[in-house]
Structure formats: structure tokens, C-alpha cells
Amino acid sequence: YMRKIVTFLLLIIISFSLKAQSLEKTYSNSRFSIKYPSSWLVVQENQAATANTTISLQVMAKQLNDYDFRPNVNIIISKEKREESTNQLALMAYKGLVKSGIQSKVVKLPSSITISGLKGSVVEYVMVLNGYSIRGIQYVLKKTDNTTYIITSSIDNSKVNSQRKINDLIINSIKIK
């Protein structure tokens, strides 16, 4: 009898945990769609991040206080049809951080990934930004015409285990059109 009660309580806890990790909102445009939790919001959309980008989107956790780092996901589409491999592009993005003087180190070398049916690369690094230790996860995807999608996820390095779960749900929700 006690075993049934424990099993029942575990099922309740798991269902609440899954509900807390659900993606209730969707952002969509002509190039991609992304799902994110209702506790997040779009803070930048359809603005060129640089002269070499066509579309930029940033979704971020809502601010809860003045001191916690807010996890976020950025999607940038390059104007240029990049010829470099996705591994090279992922490393180039990391090297750009180093050149800009941001203290950082690679914690996972580029490896292969597939998101929305597109093959690409992912590199992970830890950087210190405004006093926060941030885990950066850089995904680089290319379509067959070399249209390049750069997706960057930033999470609090001290909360990597909990924030990584929602990050992975968001990243895996992306649909490239």
C-alpha cells in the first residue's frame, strides 16, 4: 500500500515538473518558428543584429529581480551565404568573444548536431560578463543554399542543470522554414 502512495506522489511531482517546463508561446516568421515558456518574452525581433544579418530574434526569461541573470536564446540569420563549415563558424564565433576581450574558455569543442532537419555544429563555452558566469551554447546550422542560422543560448553557469532543460526544449522546438 505504501508503495502505491509513493508511486502516486512521484507521478504528481513529475507531472507538475513537466508542466513547469512546457512551451506555451510561439514566435513565427517567414524563416523560422520557436516555442518558449509563458515565463519568457520576446525582447528583440526582426532587427538586424549587425550589418551582416537579416533577421534577429531574442527571447528571454522575464525579470524576477535585479540580480539574477536571465537565460535567453538568440537567433540570427546571416545575410552572407557562408562557405565555411559549421564547425569553423562555431569556432569563429567563440574567437570573436576572445578578441572582444571577454574572459571565456571552451568547455565543449564543436560537435555535430541536427535541429529541424538541418545539420550543423554546436560549441559550448563559459564566459564572465558583467560579473556573471555564463554558459554560452552556440549552434550553427546551414541550409543547402548556405543560408546560415546562428543560434546562441545563454544560461547561468551556476544553474546549468536546471536551465539547460528548458534551453534544450526551446532549441528543439525551432523549425526552420
CB 26 within 8 A of CB 39: no
Prediction pTM value:
0.82
The mean predicted confidence, pLDDT, of the chain is 84
**pLDDT for 18 beyond 50:** no
The predicted model gives 54-64 an average pLDDT of: 83
Distance (Å, rounded) from C-alpha 137 to C-alpha 72? 11
DSSP annotation string for 122-159: EEEEEEEETTEEEEEEEEEEE-TT--EEEEEEEEEGGG
Residue 74 CA: distances (Å) to CA of 13, 14, 83: 31, 29, 22
CA distance 136 to 124: 6
